[in-house]
Structure formats: C-alpha cells, structure tokens
Structure 1
Amino acid sequence: MSSDAPVGDRPPAGKTFFGHPRALSTLFLTEMWERFSFYGMRAILVLYLTAAAADGGLDLGESSANAVYGTYNAMVYLMALPGGWVADRLIGARRSVLWGGVVIAAGHYVMAIPTGWSVFAGMALIVLGTGLLKPNISTMVGDLYERDSPRRDAGFSIFYMGINLGAFIAPLITGFLGEKINWHLGFGAAAVGMTFGVLQYVLGRRNLGDAGARPADPLLGADRRRALTRIGVASVVVLAVLLVLLVAGWFTVDTVVNLLTVVTVLVTVGYFARILTDREISGTERSRMKAYVWLFLFAASFWLIYDQAGSVLNIFAADQTDRSVGGFTFPASWLQSVNPILIIIGAPLAAALWLKLGHRVSTPTKFAVGLVLNGLSFVLMAAAAQAAVGGDLVSPLWLVAVYAIQVAGELSLSPVGLSATTKLAPVKYASQMLGLWFLATAVGDAIGGQVARLAGTWSQPVYFLTFGLASVVLGLAAVMFTRQIRHLMAGIH
C-alpha cells in the first residue's frame, strides 16, 4: 500500500478506537460535542423565545418563534453548501472543521450574554460555523478509509452514534439549566460543550494523518483572487441589504425570517435548474435527476413536519403535558432526548430490515412509508391535542409515541435518501450532491417554519390533523407513482 493511503486502512498500530484508527475518536468526539451544542441550544430556543419577560424570556409570539426556529434550522443546512465549497476550494476540510468549531463556540458564548439581542447574533455565528463544520467532518471520516474498504461503513456507524449520543445528552443538561435556573446559562452550557470539542480536536490533530489536510480541488492564483473578491462583494451586498432594512424600519424578526425563507427556496430552484439544463450530463443522468426531484420534494415534505418537534411539539410539552414525577416537574425540553435514543435503538433494526428485504422494496416506496408514518404521528398528535382541550394536562407518553412513529419514518427515509443521492448523482456533480440533500432539510424547515405560524391561530387538533392527513395522502400518492419514478431512475433501485 502506498504511503499516502488513507490512515484507516493501514494496519492499526498502538491504541485504536473500537478497532478503528485513533483518528476516528477525535472526529467522533468533535461531532458529539458539536451536536451537544446544537441540540442543547435548539431544545430550549423556542421555549426561551416564547417565555415571558418576567421569566427571563424574550416574550416573542408563538407564531414568530416557530418561524424563527424553522428558519434557523434551514440556514444551518443551507450553509452546508458554501461550507463544503470553502473546504474543497480554499482551506481544506481540517481547517474548516477547526474554524467552524471556534465560530460555533463563539456563537454560544454570545447567546450566554443576558441581553435580548444576543440570541440572534449568536444564532448567526452558529449558522456560519456549522456550515463549515458539519459537511466537512463527515468528509474527513471518509478520508480515513479506502473507498471500497469493508470497515468504511462500520466507521460511519460509530461516527453516527456520536451524533445521537450528543443529541441525547444535550437537552438533559441545557434543558435543566435553561428552564430551571436561567435561559442564558443553558446557552452557556452549549458553549462549554463546543469548547471541549474544539480543544480535543486540536489535541488530537496528530492522529488525523493526511485526512482533510488539503483542499480537494484548490483554487490558485488569479482564480483564487477572483473567488475571494466575489465573496467580499457578496458579503458587502448582504450587509447593504440589512442596512437598508434597518434604515427603512423593516428590520424585524418576521421580515428577516420571510426573506431567508424566500432565499432558501430560490437557491434550491436555481441549483436544480443548473443541473437539469447542463448539456454535459447524459440523458440517463438527466432522467435520474428528474426522479431525484420527486424524492427531494418528498423529503422536504417529511422534514416540514418532522422538525416541528423542537418548536410546535416542544411548546405543547411545556404548556399541555403533565411532567410531574414524584413531586419533581421535569423540563419540557427533556422530551427532546427521546428522538435520539430511539434512533440509537432503531437504526440497527432498520438496517437489518432493509438488508433482508433487498431490492423487493424500492427507494420511492421507502420514501412513501416515511411520509405515511410522519403523517400518522401528527394524526396521533391531533388526538393528544383534543385530549388537552379545556386545559387538561395530558401524559407525556403521547409525545413519546409520536416521536417513536416519527423515528420509524425517519429511518425509512433519511438514510435511504442519502444513499439514493449518491447513486442518482450525475458524475459531474457527484461531490455536490450531499449539499443538495441537505437542501431538502433546509427547504422543509424554512417552509415548515412558516406553516408552524398556523399553530398559533388554528385550533391544535385541526392543525395537527390537517397536516397529518396531508402527509399521509402525499405518501399514498407516492406509492401510486412508484413505477413512474423507478422508470426515471433508469436501473437504480
């Protein structure tokens, strides 16, 4: 094997991490702490935004708070596109992850400042930092192994456990600190978590070998200067737009949220238009991309409902569930830990099921199952909301059951969609398709944030039942068009 082979396929020497290269532990812990900071802050964000000023909150209306939450999630995933480009063309994945972690930590420290403006400034920094870190740390995990290494999938499975471990622990800590003591202390805990992640990443960098050390396709000379100039101009334009909004008196939470929602949708439409009109892709590749458009729309519709767990369902947990156990009222945000623990339990079972079924169940069918299950979770929420009509507090087991159904839907759609993305990608756009898959979440969350505004004006049973049935109907329609979509996929299952 040549000396520049990925470190993960060299014979393990010295200490290993579950039989894998020591570098995987560095990336595992970095991602675990990043997810701790992200999910820890997200678990209390809407609760802080809607809490009364007397309780230390921002006293923002439920409608606007839900929209802010959805748009924030959308921006995190949207920034994965430029974040991946910066790593590939300018500074490499390793430095992107480092600087991303530093900016994320800075964002959380800003949010820990006990003022009203700090939460929005902090979220902006977290969005920028996550865009640098999130897509590129996964790339570095892949760099530890040969592309066809039998240990590659196992390495990613261990890495995936780090994601969900951080997501499970975070709400328990930040939720208690935020809801029981002080909101900004909760945000500060997320900052400390990300700081731990950055420190261990720096200390463990000697284990990384060549993984992510250099840009995959670096810009040099005049091309680099031209790219940096364009970035500078774009930054000035963004600042100018914000200044105009401020001077005109339009710089409000709702205006910014609406603007970012439109930007997310326009970027997505432009991205697909660019690929589908590219004359350099073959007819077969164009057909597969047309199939992917449908899968993308199904995925965006899925995330539109699924990611309301941290907004609409979180508020329901705070206001309408009986959280008393033995005289102790546990924080509403603790229920945000149910999802990741169910994923940890269910992921191996789902993987075994799809392996057993093989090609007997197609990708569009799996997407349809995800949509139907997602819809049924909201139908169940409608029943929970109906039980809470009149001010009665309902058991938190309603939400546990809802999350269990949603996780079953996620395991049917999310990993399958990631796999389909790599298989349907035109050769020319292979390295960019992961960013396009992230856009499905961005679009779903952006539109979902606007849809969630209705939760504050419609009756809750009607809201949940309407969108639950809509998802079920969309899933059944997907089943009806499975044959046509498979035809467009041109031999890809």
Structure 2
Amino acid sequence: MAATAETNNDFFKSNVIGHPAGLFVLFFTEMWERFSYYGMRALLVLFLTSSLFDEGWAWPREQALALYGTYTSLVYLTPILGGYIADRYMGYRNAVVLGAFIMTIGHACMALDTPFALYLGLFFLVAGNGFFKPNMTSIISHLYVNHPEKKDGAYTIFYMGVNAGAFLGILLCGYVGEQIGWHWGFGLAGIFMFFGMLQFYFAQNIFGEVGKKPLKENKEVVFEDKNDKLNPFTVIDKILIVVSSVIGLVWIINDPMSKIGNTNILDFSVAGMDGSNFMILFALILFIFLLVTRILRYSEVVRDKMIAISIFAFFTVFFWAAFEQAGGSMTIFAADYTDRVLAGNSANIFRVVNTLITIIPLAIITWVLHKLFQQTFKNYALSNIFLGISFVIVWVIVGFMLYNQYLQENPEVPASWFSVLNSLFIIIFAPLFSKLWESKYNPSVAVKYGMGLILLGAGFLSLAYGASGIPTGAKVAAVSMIWLVFAYLFHTLGELCLSPVGLSYLSKLVPGRMIAFMFGIWYLAIAIGNKLAGTTGGMIDSITEEHSLSFFFMLFFFIPAGAGVLIILMRPLLRRLMHGIH
C-alpha cells in the first residue's frame, strides 16, 4: 500500500484541466479502443447484408444478426475471465497491452476479404477485449484509491473518452467503409487500435507501480454487517457454474454456426423440444438454481440486497435486448428503409450540422491533446508522437469527408451515420441527468429503471409510426430520417436513466468481498441481452413478411415499456430489499 500511496502522490503532481496527465493517457487509450470497437460494429451487419453489387456478402439478415448477436454477447463475457487473469497472473498494464495487440490483429484480419479472416478477426477481437476492457477501469480505481473525492470526476472524464471514441469511430469508419470500401473501414479501426496500444505502452511508466504486477490475494474478509457470514463455493456450486457456462457458450457459438454453415451440434430433440432450445433452457435452470441456493445461504440483509440486484439484472436483459438493435435491425432500417438522399435546403442543413458536430468535438479533444503534450512530451515523447500521428490522420479523413459532402449536389447520408447520434446525445444530456440525480427531484432506482425502459420503448414506437406506411413484406422503402433521429434520442435518454444507475447501485448493494462475483452476473445479464438482440433482430424478415415492419418495431415498444411499468410497480418491494440504500 505504501508503494501505491507514493505512486499516487507522484501521479497527482502533473495537471491537465484539473486532473493528472496520466488520466488522459488512459482517456486516449480508451478512446481509440472504443473508436475501433464501434467503428467495426457500425459496419459489420451493413457489410454482411449488402448486395454483391455493393461489394458486400449478401447474407440473409437472420444470418448476419446471428453472428452479430454472438459477437456482442461474447464481448461482455470474456472480461470476466480477462479480469481474473490480470488480477492473479499478469497485472493490469500487461493485460491492457496484450488485449490491444490481440484486437489490432483482429482488425487486421477483418481487413481481408475472406470468411476465414472474418471469423478469425472476430475471435481475436473478443479475446483481446477480455484482457483490455476490465483492466482499464481497474487502473483508474487503484490510481485514485487515496483520492476518493476525485474519483467521480476521473470516471466522468474517462466516460467522455468512451463516447468521443464511439462518435469518431462510427463517423469515420462508417464513412470510409460505405464510401470507399468495407475492408478499408475495418482496417481503419485497426490502425487506431494500434496507435492506442503504442501510446499506452510508451507512457505506462506515468502510473508508477500501479497495475504493473498482479495483486496479492487478500485473505482478510471485512463484514459490513455483524450477522454476515462467509458463503464459500461448494463442489456442487462449481460444477453448476462449469456445466451451465459450457452449455451457454456452446449455444451462443452454435447459433450462427447452424444458420450460416449448416453445422448444428445441437441437432437433436428431447421430448419433442428442439435440442438447441432444450439445452439453453437446461443451462438457464441450472444457473437460476445456483443463484437461488447461494443467495439463500447468506444472512438476511445480504440476501435481500442480492435479490434486489438479481431483479435489476433481470430487467437489464430486456433493456439491452432492445437497445442493441442499434447495430442490427435499426442499422438495416437506416440502410434499406430510410430516405438518405438529400437535396436543396435539407442537404445544406445536413452539411452544416455534420460539420459542426464533427469539428467542434474534435477541436476540443485536440486542445486536450495539446495540454497533455505540454505536460508529458519531455518524458514520454514517443507516446506523444504516436498519439499526434493518429490525430493528424483523423483530421485528414475528416477534412476529406466534409469536403466531399460539400462537393456532392445531393449528398447521401451514410447508413452508419445515425449511430453517432447516441454518443452525441449522451454528450449533450449526460450533464443534465447528472444534475437531476443530485437534486431533490432524484427518483428511486426502480423509477429510474422504469423510465429507462419506457423511454427505450418510445424510441421504437417512433420507428413503428414511421414504418406504418411500408407494405407488408417490403424489402426497401424511403421513410423520413426524422423517425430514426427520434428513436436514437429516446434510446439515449433511456440509457442515461438505466445504464450508469445499474452499476452504481451494484457497487452500493453488494459487499466488497462479493463484488467480482456480482459484476460477473451483471455482465452475464448484458451478454444475454446482446445475444437476444441478435436473435430477435434476425426475425425482422419473417415478422415483416407475415405482419409488417411497423408490427416488428411495435414488439420492441410493448416489451420494454411493459417491463418498465412492472419494475415501477415493484418499487415498494425493492425498497424493502435494499434496506435503506437509496
């Protein structure tokens, strides 16, 4: 601990807009990782479903969304293992560098135009993310361990880096992929992942000893409640974890294998039930049994709080199953059902708006970069050089993109462009929500969750209304863009109500010694939601042919909105289970 404290004192000597320079090393590393992730995510389904004429692979939508759902779900599962390995064997910094390097290889593979390279690339991206994602936030946590009063501000700045990366990644990779070539877009994501890795690697000494070595296991257990007790994993617990995890993983991977490659390893039936459905139901029953039996073995207060967290995790599944349609069915709606060709005043308005929302955030981030250079160039010149080169490339691409849009008489809005609205609206509205949660109007967590789910449903209601004039079974249409803009606005407002709140209450309700286990449950809930997003989104053609596209989006209104009303009605129960935590 002495080494950590000394490191923190040195760490806090530098200053960039009120925070240590080292925080901004993490800021830019995370920014480039999010750039690469969201840039690739924006292109994946578009590329797979685009026609051969457009140099896509012309996959059926169900197949593309099955692969998308499997990829995004695994992205939330591997950090559980990656965090464990870093804690005990590698240290956070080595894990971040290794994860970034593996993801760079993954993006490089996806720049190649072969099915094998695509699958290999996705495998590397999932594996690399497992090492990278959990350990960046762990570094911040340890750097600020003796400065808790500064931690909220540090995470706020870090979160802005996440959104800046997502915004630029979708904007630039989407533009390059759609206008120049899909694999150029995938490759661009890899270039910035590589620069992010180099920037972090050559500046990591700024963190002192933090994250350099794995943590020594702490045998001392602190009980927050005098009636609390240890609840060690039994042999049966461990068997249930392994069996349910293996079955779930096989099911997640088998889904796209069976639909894309006609290789179904769960091709059997049990009591008239399809083998795939039977196995995932069996795994779910085993997991619920494990969770219930473990919770019942805790003391009353801890038991109640864990039940509350489990209820929130359950509703989190519904949120992400709908929210992650952004990379699936909503992307398809933008590409095939939205009028994206602009003319006259509409074209001029888009040019001005797109220029402003691109240049202003990029100029602000570049100013922060300049401030960082002033503090760190002397000691970390190589890291700064790589970071500077990456920004030069960004400005060149931005200039090229905006120049071409002004040259075109009737510019076409890229289908991927609409996804940037989520990051843009977060940047605009996050400070307002933060103020609201600190005011006397701060609602209970159940109401926040309900508001988040209802607002999410409202976004799909907008799409359902916009699609109401599209004939049954239609594959293309030209609906106004305004309905997508409204959808992303409502979805972002819903995200701000639910996503940060869930993690905050998880940390408040769960005792410190069990935080890793419950974070694992939380990420599992998000992973299930992501997989369901791909599965349900893949039904877009079958539902549209039988009913209509408007009916398809109405389902995503009724389910999350209904879940939102239900959790609001559960407010008295949740208040009792939380035992005074507000």
Q: Is 2:15 the partner of 1:5?
A: no
Q: 2:449 is matched with which residue: 363, 367, 373?
A: 367
Matched residue, 2:559: 470
Q: Give TM-score, length-normalised by structure 2.
A: 0.75
Moved more, 268-277 or 181-190: 268-277
Instruction: Find the partner of 1:445 among 527, 530, 548.
Output: 530
Q: Could you tell me how far apart the structure 2 residues matched to 1:208 and 1:11 are?
A: 7
- Worse-matched range after superposition: 412-421 or 441-450: 441-450
State whether residues 296 and 303 of structure 2, in contact with CA within 8 Å, keep that contact through their aligned partners in structure 1. Answer: no
Q: Could you tell me how far 1:65 is from its partner in structure 2?
A: 1.2
Question: Which residue does 1:130 correspond to in 2?
Answer: 129
Residues 338-417 of structure 1 mapped to structure 2, 5 A cutoff: 338-357=421-440, 361-389=443-471, 392-417=477-502
Give the aligned partner of residue 331 of structure 1: 414
Q: Larger deviation: 322-331 or 283-292?
A: 322-331
Judge conservation of contact 1:51–1:60 (CA < 8 Å) in 2: yes
Structure 1 pair 268/375, CA: closer, same or farther in 2 (3 Å)?
farther
Corresponding residue SS for 2:4: coil
- SS of match in other structure, 1:328: coil
Taking the aligned partners of 2:208 and 2:10, their CA distance within structure 1 comes to 11
| Equivalent in the alignment of 1:226 | none
Residue 312 in 1 paired to residue 329 in 2? Answer: yes
Does the CA-based 8 Å contact 2:139-2:211 persist in structure 1? yes
Hey, what does 1:158 align to over in structure 2?
157
One-letter amino acid of the structure 2 residue matched with residue 344 of structure 1: I
Q: Which moved more, 1:210-219 or 1:141-150?
A: 210-219
In structure 2, the CA distance between the partners of 1:4 and 1:99, relative to structure 1 (3 Å rule), is: same
Contact 1:9–1:145 (CA under 8 A) maintained in structure 2 = no
Partners in 1 of 2:35 and 2:51 — Cα distance? Answer: 26
Cα shift at 1:361: 1.6
Instruction: Extract structure 1 runs of 4+ deviating beyond 6 A.
Output: 248-251, 256-265
Q: Secondary structure at the match of 1:357?
A: coil
Greater CA drift, 73-82 or 264-273: 264-273
Corresponding residue for 2:294? 277
Residue 550 (structure 2) aligned to one of 453, 461, 473:
461
Question: For the aligned residues, what is the CA RMSD?
Answer: 3.1
How far the C-alpha of 1:11 sits from its partner, in A, is 7.4
2:112 aligned counterpart, secondary structure = coil
- Cα distance, 1:331 vs structure 2: 1.2
User: Contact 1:12 / 1:20 at 8 angstroms: preserved in 2?
Assistant: yes
Provide the rounded CA distance (Å) in 1 between the counterparts of 2:103 and 2:284. Answer: 24
The answer to whether the 8 A contact 2:11-2:207 is kept is no
CA distance in 2, matches of 1:9, 1:168: 34
The answer for the alignment partner of 2:307 in structure 1 is 290
Measured in 2, the distance between the counterparts of 1:442 and 1:210 equals 33
Once the two structures are TM-superposed, the CA of residue 204 in structure 1 deviates from its matched residue by 0.8
TM-score (norm 1): 0.88
| 1:42 to 2:41 alignment | yes
Cα distance per residue 1:368-418 (max 9 Å; x no partner): 111111111111110111144475412222111110101100000011101
Equivalent residue runs for 1:29-428 within 5 Å = 29-146=28-145, 149-217=148-216, 252=261, 255=264, 266=283, 270=287, 273-274=290-291, 276-277=293-294, 281-325=298-342, 326=347, 327-357=410-440, 361-389=443-471, 392-428=477-513
In structure 1, list runs of 5 or more residues that go unmatched.
220-232
Q: 1:489 to 1:269 in 2, by over 3 A?
A: farther
State the SS of the aligned residue for 1:5.
helix
Could you say what secondary structure the match of 2:538 adopts?
Answer: helix
**Conserved in 2, the CA contact under 8 Å of 1:378 and 1:465?**
yes
Deviations 1:143-198 (CA, angstroms, capped at 9, x unpaired): 11125521111011111010000000011211121111211111000000100100
State the partner residue of 2:361: none
Q: Conserved in 2, the CA contact under 8 Å of 1:71 and 1:260?
A: no
Which is worse superposed, 270-279 or 332-341?
270-279
Conserved 8 A contact 2:11-2:206:
no
Report the more deviating stretch, 414-423 or 276-285. 276-285
Deviates more, 1:396-405 or 1:319-328: 319-328
CA contact (8 A) 1:285 1:425 kept: yes
Contact 1:338/1:400 (8 A) holds in 2: yes
Query: Against the structure 1 CA distance between its residues 265 and 377, is the aligned structure 2 distance closer, same or farther, given a 3 Å change threshold?
Result: farther
Contact map agreement 2:320 2:530 (CA 8 A) in 1: yes
Change (3 A) 1:89 1:218: farther
1:277-327 superposed Cα distances (whole Å, 9 cap, x missing partner): 167632211111111111111111001101101110001101111222341
Inter-partner Cα distance in structure 2 for 1:249 and 1:366: 39
User: Which one has a bigger Cα radius of gyration?
Assistant: 2
Residue number in structure 2 paired with 1:222: none
Change in 2 beyond 3 A, CA 1:146/1:81 = same
User: What displacement does 1:486 show?
Assistant: 1.6
Q: Counterparts of 1:261 and 1:133 in 2: how far apart (Å)?
A: 34
Letter of the aligned partner of 2:480 in structure 1?
S
Once the two structures are aligned, what percentage of the paired residues are identical? 36
**Aligned residue in 2 for 1:224:** none
Q: How many residues align?
A: 472
- Cα distance per residue 1:83-133 (max 9 Å; x no partner): 111111211111111100000110000000121222221111100111110
Structure 1 distance, partners of 2:312, 2:436, is 21
